[in-house]
């Protein structure tokens, strides 16, 4: 059985950096199920938060400099594609990170369930850990090396996720962006179900659930898009439909 130190050394080789603070890279590889009951800093959750923001800034900077002829919408679509869960999980898997993620007993033996999300989260966490330990330039180099091959101008021509499409629609039709709110979290820590709602102009427009907060937001965005399309853009009608569906769900339970 491979020990934690071996996992850390292997990922340091993948990243191309030997961490001075081993706790950072250890946490970046640790799924929350492996440290239940311990401080949140023991898993990748906090580093994921930081890495997500750092990654977004680095990718945005590179795209801004690389494609001077693209407008804001095209740059946004391209950025969304590069930092999407699908791309990040594929990149992390190709780097060989999957075998070095530390799961708890509750997650072992579950096969592919949750691995996609974990790979995405660990990639972002590694970015956060690298930024804290090695600084901007080293982090930028890692992101360029791993995400650079996935940059394609064609990706700027279309939104690649329900959230990006909803952002486009609401900015165009209502001159505001969507706002996501987590309304519930149920189930055990190793297998939670999150439910989120999305508001447009302060009006609840969609609702969705998923195994992660990001998945719940994506489902809520898709629900909002379907409702807005069916209601031909009427936020008032969408609000009525959303509340009617929620009342029906409560009655059925």
Q: Are residues 13 and 113 in the same domain?
A: yes
**Tens digits of residue pLDDT in 175-184:** 888 999 999 9
Give CA–CA dist 244/101, Å, rounded: 43
Number of domains into which the chain is organized? 2
pLDDT at residue number 143: 97
Task: Write down the mean pLDDT value for the chain.
Answer: 84
**Tens digits of residue pLDDT in 43-69:** 999 999 999 899 999 999 999 999 999
Q: How confident is the model at residue 248 (pLDDT cuts 50, 70, 90)?
A: very low
Residue 33 CB contacts under 8 Å (≥ 6 apart), including other chains: 103, 104, 105, 106, 107, 189, 190
Average pLDDT over residues 117-134: 95
Query: Which pTM was predicted?
Result: 0.68
Q: Which of 11-15, 103-107, 143-147 has the lowest mean pLDDT?
A: 103-107
Average pLDDT over residues 103-130: 79
Q: Are residues 69 and 17 in the same domain?
A: yes
Report, as residue numbers or ranges, the catalytic residues: 52, 124
Residue 191 lies in domain: 162-252
Q: Are residues 94 and 133 in the same domain?
A: yes
Q: Are residues 130 and 220 in the same domain?
A: no
């Amino acid at each position: 059985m491979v020990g934690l130190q071996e996992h850390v050394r292997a990922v340091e080789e993948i990243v191309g950096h030997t961490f001075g603070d081993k706790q950072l890279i250890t946490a970046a590889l640790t799924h929350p199920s492996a440290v239940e009951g311990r401080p949140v800093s023991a898993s990748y959750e906090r580093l994921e938060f930081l890495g997500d923001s750092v990654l977004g800034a680095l990718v945005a900077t590179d795209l801004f400099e690389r494609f001077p002829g693209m407008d804001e919408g095209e740059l946004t679509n391209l950025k969304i594609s590069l930092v999407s869960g699908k791309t990040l999980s594929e990149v992390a898997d190709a780097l060989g990170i999957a075998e070095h993620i530390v799961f708890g007993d509750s997650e072992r033996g579950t096969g592919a369930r949750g691995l996609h999300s974990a790979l995405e989260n660990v990639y972002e966490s590694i970015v956060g850990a690298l930024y804290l330990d090695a600084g901007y330039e080293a982090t930028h180099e890692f992101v360029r090396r791993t995400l650079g091959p996935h940059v394609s101008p064609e990706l700027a021509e279309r939104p690649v996720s329900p959230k990006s499409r909803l952002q486009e629609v609401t900015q165009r039709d209502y001159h505001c962006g969507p706002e996501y709110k987590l309304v519930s979290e149920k189930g055990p820590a190793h297998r939670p179900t999150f439910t989120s709602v999305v508001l447009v102009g302060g009006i609840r427009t969609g609702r969705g659930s998923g195994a992660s907060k990001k998945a719940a937001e994506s489902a809520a965005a898709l629900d909002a898009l379907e409702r807005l399309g069916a209601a031909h853009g009427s936020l008032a009608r969408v609000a009525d439909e959303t509340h009617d569906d929620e009342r029906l769900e409560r009655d059925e339970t």
